[in-house]
Amino acid sequence: MLSKRILTIQDLSCVGRCSLIVALPVLSAYGMETCVLPTAVLSNHTAFDKWSCLDLTYEMKNILAAWQENGFLFDAFLTGYLGSAGVVDVVKTCFSDFSNESAEIIIDPAFGDNGRLYPAYDGEYVTAMADLIKSADIILPNLTEACFLAGIEYRSDTSPESAKEIVKRLAEYTPAAIVLTGMERAGEIGELIYSGGVFSEVWAEKLPRRFHGTGDLFAAAFAALYLQGSGLEKACASAGDFVAAGINATDSSCIYGVNFEYVLNSRVNGNRCFT
Ligand code: PXL
């Protein structure tokens, strides 16, 4: 059976479930041939007090040169935390040189939350990302990222209705379908989807606990589901359900991320793999 070959481009944070630690197993478990292009190696993600970071921009270029000689092409791309504006430029080249005909590009801007940029980022990174999303088919910003990309001031009390104005403004900068993630309304969490000039919404019960890395988990499950034929709404609903199942299975503190391994073993693989 032919499976789609996806390249996911994000950092490898060695502790704390996020980025490649999450994307690789989730995409694989959903049946995708998953290739990785690590953008940086971190001791752990940057919500912990201390971290080390090795930027891989230089090695990424070597990897792409070898891939070019081997003639590799990809059916889809999923990008997440990239680490620096320099990496964003390399990713842009990667899209143009390694896309199969009709390759789908899914970009999670992954540079901030709660109105603030992650510690490694500044305005230069946002500008580079604003340029990168012009190449995307689908982008998955949260409200913080949408505001930064559209040049609008972030307000934590933005309602889904007023978020539509932000999304429309963002759509002036990219032809991509926009999936605004992590929106909230009374007791619910969901996505606001803008595609072909039309809005739709997906809502589910909001769980009381918040965890690090849920955006990355959502993006990986969403990408797999969408690329395998679910529409935007169905892919959002199933990916949200996947994240919620992980949260419900998690005992450890929020900074270590969601117990998605439980969900992979019990649901995606139907618990058949080790029996
Ligand atoms: O989950 C996003 C993410 C990915 N990678 C690193 C991060 C973060 C968010 O803080 O620090 C290194």
Q: Which residues pair with 36 in a beta bridge?
A: 8
In a domain, 251, yes or no: yes
What is the pLDDT averaged over residues 255-259? Answer: 96
Instruction: Using most ligand atoms within 8 A of CB, pick from 41, 118, 144 the residue to mutate for ligand 1.
Output: 118
In a domain, 111, yes or no: yes
Neighbouring C-alpha atoms within 13 Å toward the C-beta of 272: 4
CB atoms within 10 A of CB 134: 12
Q: Tell me the CA–centroid distance for residue 2 and ligand 1, in Å.
A: 32
Q: Which residues pair with 12 in a beta bridge?
A: 41
Ligand 1 site: residues with CB under 6 angstroms?
11, 13, 18-19, 42, 45-47, 81, 110, 118, 213, 215-216
Q: Tell me the CA–centroid distance for residue 46 and ligand 1, in Å.
A: 6
Domain encompassing residue 131: 5-269
pLDDT at residue 26 in the model: 97
CA 146 to each of CA 62, 120, 128, 143: distance values in angstroms, whole numbers, following the listed order:
32, 18, 14, 5
In a domain, 64, yes or no: yes
Instruction: Using most ligand atoms within 8 A of CB, pick from 45, 48, 117, 214 the residue to mutate for ligand 1.
Output: 45
Quickly list DSSP for 33-78: EEEEEEEEEESS-TTSS---EEE-HHHHHHHHHHHHHHT--EEEEE
pLDDT at residue 271 in the model: 56
What is the pLDDT averaged over residues 249-273? Answer: 84
In a domain, 155, yes or no: yes
Q: Tell me the CA–centroid distance for residue 49 and ligand 1, in Å.
A: 13
Report helix, strand or coil for 188.
Answer: strand
Task: Grade residue 2 by pLDDT with cuts at 50, 70 and 90.
Answer: confident
d(CA 78, CA 107): 6
pLDDT at residue 270 in the model: 64
Atom of ligand 1 nearest to the CA of 120: 11
In a domain, 108, yes or no: yes
Q: Tell me the CA–centroid distance for residue 1 and ligand 1, in Å.
A: 34
In a domain, 224, yes or no: yes
Instruction: Using most ligand atoms within 8 A of CB, pick from 11, 210, 217, 256 the residue to mutate for ligand 1.
Output: 11
What count of residues does the chain have? 275
Q: Tell me the CA–centroid distance for residue 16 and ligand 1, in Å.
A: 9
Q: Tell me the CA–centroid distance for residue 227 and ligand 1, in Å.
A: 24
Is residue 80 a contact partner of residue 10, using CB atoms and an 8 Å limit? yes
Mean of all residue pLDDT scores within the chain: 95
Q: Tell me the CA–centroid distance for residue 214 and ligand 1, in Å.
A: 10
Q: What is the pLDDT of residues 141-164, one digit of tens each?
A: 999 999 999 999 999 999 999 999
In a domain, 275, yes or no: no
- Whichever domain contains 228, its CATH number is 3.40.1190.20
Query: Above 90 in pLDDT, residue 267?
Result: no
How many independent structural domains does the chain possess?
A: 1
In a domain, 25, yes or no: yes
Is residue 75 a contact partner of residue 137, using CB atoms and an 8 Å limit? no
Atom of ligand 1 nearest to the CA of 110: 2
